[in-house]
């Protein structure tokens, strides 16, 4: 039973500029994004009484509250892991609001992901070995891109997925970024030929297959649906939220049919009272391009093994059958750990995106590797 269905809404969204060298502290960016989100909702900082953040964020609840001039918070929480937090934080905010623990909860993420700590770099550590990585680190598996490369190789072997199909994802998302003036890669289109001749990172993944590490901050405000009806922006209702985490990450017996997205999909869509065919726009966590192909399969938009042809046929482009990552996504807008995907789907459902999907009513957003997902509704 879905106890969240349409009880809460995202009422305000805010961002900073996305850059490769912000020259700012993460706290200052968090304050800017938060103020933008609060103003977008037509609220004041005094209205915020709850706050949730990424566990990995360097900015604490108390630091941001002080920066905003908020003396007390009724509710605060945080969530990890890094990639899976965004959708789960929305669920936490909605649960807090729906159970009367807060009225308006601010969700935020601020990171100097390009000029500061680079999540794409890997270092062998004693801590990693103690967590079980002793079976991967000696063979050079240090960063997520390497594991993603191995997974798509298996998909290629089983289903005939091609490098050109990966390229189709990258070219499509760059096309979307060129429509979005906020994207780092705005005005820098690429062709399939550009993709095929680009630098190889983790065979078969090339530079364009990897998320665009960036500096910036995102925030949004979650309130009750009742309160949202009287706010500044058209409310975007949270129709359902789900999470999924395997008991043992990376266990060898897991197959393509045993993914987080595939496990969440029945509950996610069933609780929202819809089917995959009702989804008008998608924000997928695209830290690497192969996940777009596998997530289309996981969530039931095409049969297992047919994700490659699906993207190659242009069906995920803005104006096509199932637009995905219409802001450019992590590959071409900025890598904000799923937060900018949520903001873009909210804009789509407000009918204010730069790559607007006509009459968009339902949107799907997911976090890293199917660890959390939302159905949002206009």
pLDDT in tens, 316-337: 999 999 999 999 999 999 999 9
Task: Please report whether residue 170 resides in a domain.
Answer: no
Task: Write out the catalytic residue numbers.
Answer: 285, 335
The sign one gets for the Cα dihedral 285, 344, 106, 261 is negative
Sort strands 362-366 and 281-283 into parallel, antiparallel or unpaired: parallel
Does residue 199 lie in a domain region? no
**122 pLDDT above the threshold of 70:** no
| pLDDT band at 135; cut points 50, 70, 90 | confident
Q: Other C-beta atoms within 10 Å of 69: how many?
A: 11
Q: What percent of the chain has pLDDT over 70?
A: 91
Q: What does the pLDDT average to over 240-259?
A: 69
CA 314 and chain centroid, separation:
21
The pLDDT score that the predictor gives to residue 259 is 81
**pLDDT confidence tier of residue 292, bands split at 50, 70 and 90:** very high
User: 94 lies in a domain?
Assistant: yes
Between residues 351 and 252, which one has the greater pLDDT? 351
Residue 64 domain-assigned (yes or no)? yes
Three-state secondary-structure class, residue 108: strand
CA distance 326 to 344: 7
More confident residue, 151 or 323: 323
Count CB neighbours of 267 within 10 A.
Answer: 14
Q: Please check the confidence at residue 304 and state whether its pLDDT lies above 90.
A: yes
Domain that holds residue 66: 8-116+211-377
Total domains in the chain come to 1
Is 247 contained in some domain? yes
Residue 201 belongs to some domain of the structure: no
**What pLDDT sits at residue 327?**
98
Q: Could you report how far apart the first and last alpha carbons of the chain are, in Å?
A: 22
- Domain-located, residue 140: no
* 91 is a domain residue: yes
Q: What is the pLDDT of residues 74-116, one digit of tens each?
A: 999 999 877 779 999 999 999 999 999 999 999 999 999 788 6
CATH number of the domain enclosing 98 = 3.40.47.10
């Amino acid at each position: 039973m879905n106890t969240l269905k349409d009880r809460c809404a995202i009422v305000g969204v805010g961002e900073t500029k996305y850059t490769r060298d912000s020259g700012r502290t993460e706290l200052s960016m968090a304050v800017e994004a938060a103020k933008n989100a609060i103003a977008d909702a037509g609220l004041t900082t005094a209205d915020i009484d709850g706050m949730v953040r990424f566990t990995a964020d360097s900015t604490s609840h108390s630091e941001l509250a002080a920066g905003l001039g908020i003396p007390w918070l009724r509710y605060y929480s945080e969530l990890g892991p890094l990639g899976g937090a965004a959708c789960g934080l929305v669920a936490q905010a909605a649960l807090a609001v729906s159970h009367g623990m807060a009225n308006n909860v601010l969700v935020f993420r601020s990171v100097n992901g390009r000029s500061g700590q680079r999540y794409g770099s890997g270092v062998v550590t004693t801590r990693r070995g103690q967590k079980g990585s002793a079976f991967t680190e000696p063979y050079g598996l240090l960063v997520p891109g390497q594991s993603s490369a191995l997974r798509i190789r298996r998909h290629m072997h089983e289903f005939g997925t091609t490098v050109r199909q990966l390229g189709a994802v990258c070219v499509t998302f760059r096309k979307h970024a060129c429509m979005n003036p906020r994207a780092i890669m705005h005005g820098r289109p690429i062709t399939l030929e550009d993709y095929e001749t680009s630098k190889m990172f983790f065979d078969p993944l090339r530079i364009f297959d990897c998320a665009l590490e960036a500096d910036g901050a995102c925030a949004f405000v979650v309130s009750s649906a009742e309160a949202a009806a009287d706010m500044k922006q058209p409310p975007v209702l949270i129709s359902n939220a789900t999470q999924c985490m395997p008991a043992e990450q990376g266990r060898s017996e897991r197959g393509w049919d045993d993914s987080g997205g595939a496990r969440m999909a029945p509950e996610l869509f069933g609780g929202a009272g819809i089917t995959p065919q009702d989804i008008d726009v998608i924000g997928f966590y695209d830290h690497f391009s192969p996940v777009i192909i596998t997530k289309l399969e996981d969530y039931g938009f095409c049969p297992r093994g047919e994700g490659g042809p699906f993207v190659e046929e242009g069906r995920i482009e803005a104006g096509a059958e199932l637009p995905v990552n219409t802001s450019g996504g992590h590959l071409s807008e900025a890598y904000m750990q799923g937060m900018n995907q949520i903001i873009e789907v909210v804009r789509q459902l407000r009918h204010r995106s730069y790559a607007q999907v006509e009459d968009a009513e339902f949107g799907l957003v997911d976090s890293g590797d199917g660890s959390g997902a939302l159905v949002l509704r206009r």
